[in-house]
């Protein structure tokens, strides 16, 4: 099994200076921008992106062309790049930010030109300080070389980019929370409707919000055509995708592959198999929010639709492998306590539910579990997402609460015995 490097090609071919504008241009960089500016046909950009069938790489997997098609007409519109990568297991945007920042800037330029946008933002999580420095340096280079600022390459098109640092809130990866954060407010998700970013986004203006990986694919799509992109991968999951592989594997890392192989092929072919040749007890197919699969589900195909059909999601493309010795209770507790910490506190089921679930898991772990705890955990879960289905029904504004339900349901579906064995039997007197 091999990688197919479209977005990571430049960085691997020029490992020491792929971040500089000189290296980027010498290797065909900013050609997509020149092409688009020369043809002076903004509609063509949207057509190509629609043809590519690319789906957003942030987690929700919504078709990018459709999302762009919703952007309302208004004089002032904004583009915001979501670089708040914080889903446990995910580190694919980090490599794009650090090692090929100009590819992101070029994607932003082409997109902004297509929608007549003159102000764009990159929102980078505060913990990615090094990535932010790289991107900021690249933005400065782009200004100096005339790719940003007024009258770009003499065409009359202007674009300003501001790099903005987050401050440690996972929830700001949710696009409306991100917009609130960028407006200097608490990162609380907004209600949709009415606050669909494409209509009422940043400062209530129509706004495109795209993930780092999605925007990085735009230059390739424009240079090689949307059709060429759509021929890669599978029909519903076109193109390549950077998967972050982590956990108990020999070679964790970022791998850019065409979607369509199985998790087993991926884990063994690129990840070098499980550490010490152990068995896979469970794995998470798409970041900590996704319901788990067990070791006997490794032959599921890595496409958005196949994973959804099997009851989970490809999410942010983070594959986490857990070997046979993993305590599933501790894994679940870690994920639930993540969501308890990151809940913004707006909706009661999420704010209260995640915290209570964390406490209950803690008492089971410390040997003080009660016989009723398993049903109690499921009951709280049911109050957050009624029916415990996937995709979840929601009682909350955003999907954070239901994400905390995933590990509980997975734990009880597949490893209930293990949890029961940790609960002391009632002593009869």
Enumerate binding residues for other proteins (CB under 8 A): 11, 15-19, 85-91, 94-95, 98-99, 119, 125-130, 132-133, 136-137, 162-170, 181-187, 203, 244-248, 252-254, 284, 288, 318, 320, 322, 326, 330-331, 334-335, 337-338, 341-342, 344
- Which one, 93 or 382, has the nearer CB to other proteins? 93
Q: Which is nearer to other proteins, 126 or 424 (CB)?
A: 126
Q: What is the CA 40 to chain-centroid distance, rounded?
A: 32
d(CA 108, CA 116): 12
CA angle 388, 385, 369 (to 5 degrees): 70
Query: With respect to other proteins, which residue has the nearer C-beta, 47 or 183?
Result: 183
User: Count of alpha carbons within 13 Å of 378, Cβ hemisphere only?
Assistant: 13
Cα 339 from Cα 262, distance rounded (Å): 29
What's the closest the beta carbon of residue 35 comes to other proteins, in angstroms?
Answer: 28
Minimum Å gap between C-beta 266 and other proteins is: 14
Residue whose C-alpha is closest to residue 175's, from 196, 161, 157, 156: 196
* Residue 84 φ/ψ, nearest 5 degrees: -95, 40
Strands 119-124 and 78-83: parallel
CA distances from 359 to 153, 169, 171, 371 (A): 59, 22, 21, 15
- Least Å distance, CB 346 to other proteins, is 11
Query: Cβ closer to other proteins: 140 or 372?
Result: 140
Tell me whether residue 95 or residue 257 sits nearer to other proteins (CB atom): 95
The minimum distance between CB 19 and other proteins, in angstroms, equals 6
Q: How far is the CB of 137 from other proteins (least distance, A)?
A: 7
> 184 vs 194, which CB is nearer to other proteins?
184
Q: Which helix (H) or strand (E) holds 82?
A: strand 78-83
CA distance 363 to 421: 14
Nearest one of 161, 165, 318, 322 to 253, comparing CA atoms: 318
Closer by beta carbon to other proteins, 52 or else 207: 207
Structural contact between residues 307 and 285, judged by C-beta atoms closer than 8 angstroms: yes
Q: Please, is 251 exposed, middle or buried when counting C-beta atoms within 10 Å of its C-beta (0-12, 13-18, 19+)?
A: exposed
The least CB distance from residue 314 to other proteins, in Å, is 17
C-alpha separations of 36 from 41, 46, 160, 218, 245 in Å: 7, 11, 18, 12, 35
**Closer CB to other proteins, 166 or 206, in the complex:** 166
| Closer to other proteins by Cβ: residue 20 or 395 | 20
Shortest Cβ 49–other proteins spacing (Å): 26
Angle, helices 212-224 vs 31-39, to 10°: value is 60
Task: In angstroms, give the least distance from the CB of 181 to other proteins.
Answer: 7
Q: How far is the CB of 222 from other proteins (least distance, A)?
A: 26
Task: Considering the complex, state which of residue 61 and residue 166 has its C-beta at the smaller distance from other proteins.
Answer: 166
Closest separation between CB of residue 165 and other proteins, Å? Answer: 6
Determine whether 222 is exposed, middle or buried from the number of CB atoms within 10 Å of its CB (0-12, 13-18, 19+). Answer: buried
Give 273's contacts (C-beta < 8 A, 6+ positions apart).
249, 250, 267
């Amino acid at each position: 099994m091999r990688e197919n490097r479209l977005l990571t090609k430049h960085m691997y071919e020029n490992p020491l200076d792929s971040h500089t504008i000189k290296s980027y241009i010498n290797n065909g960089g900013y050609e997509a921008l020149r092409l688009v500016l020369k043809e002076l046909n903004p509609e063509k950009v949207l057509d190509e992106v629609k043809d590519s069938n690319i789906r957003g790489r942030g987690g929700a997997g919504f078709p990018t062309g459709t999302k762009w098609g919703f952007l309302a007409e208004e004089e002032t519109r904004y583009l915001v790049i979501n670089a708040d990568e914080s889903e446990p297991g995910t580190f694919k945007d980090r490599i794009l930010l650090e090692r090929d920042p100009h590819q992101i800037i070029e994607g932003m330029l082409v997109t902004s030109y297509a929608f007549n946008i003159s102000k764009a933002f990159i929102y980078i999580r505060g913990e990615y300080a090094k990535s932010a420095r790289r991107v900021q340096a690249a933005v400065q280079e782009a200004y100096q070389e005339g790719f940003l600022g007024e009258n770009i390459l003499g065409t009359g098109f202007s674009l300003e980019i501001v790099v903005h640092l987050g401050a440690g809130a996972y929830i700001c990866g949710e696009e409306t929370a991100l917009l609130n954060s960028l407006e200097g407010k608490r990162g609380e998700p907004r209600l949709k409707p009415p606050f669909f970013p494409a209509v009422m986004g940043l400062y209530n203006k129509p706004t495109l919000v795209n993930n780092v990986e999605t925007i990085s694919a735009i230059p390739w799509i424009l240079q090689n055509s949307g059709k060429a992109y759509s021929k890669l991968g599978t029909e519903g999951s076109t193109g390549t995708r950077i998967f972050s592989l982590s956990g108990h594997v020999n070679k964790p890392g970022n791998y850019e592959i065409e979607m369509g192989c199985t998790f087993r092929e991926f884990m063994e072919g690129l990840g070098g198999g499980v550490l010490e040749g152990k068995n896979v007890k469970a794995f998470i197919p798409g970041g900590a929010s996704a319901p788990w699969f067990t070791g006997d589900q490794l032959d599921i195909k890595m496409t958005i639709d196949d994973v959804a059909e099997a009851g989970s999601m490809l999410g942010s493309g983070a594959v986490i492998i857990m070997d046979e010795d993993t305590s599933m209770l501790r894994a679940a507790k870690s994920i639930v306590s993540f969501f308890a910490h990151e809940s913004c506190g707006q909706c009661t089921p999420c704010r209260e539910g995640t915290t209570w679930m964390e406490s209950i898991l803690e008492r089971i772990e410390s040997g003080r579990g009660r016989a009723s705890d398993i049903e109690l955990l499921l009951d709280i879960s049911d109050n957050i997402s009624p029916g415990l289905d996937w995709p979840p029904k929601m009682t909350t504004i955003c999907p954070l609460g239901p994400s905390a339900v995933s590990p509980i349901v997975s734990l009880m579906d597949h490893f209930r015995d293990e949890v029961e064995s940790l609960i002391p039997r009632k002593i009869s007197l």
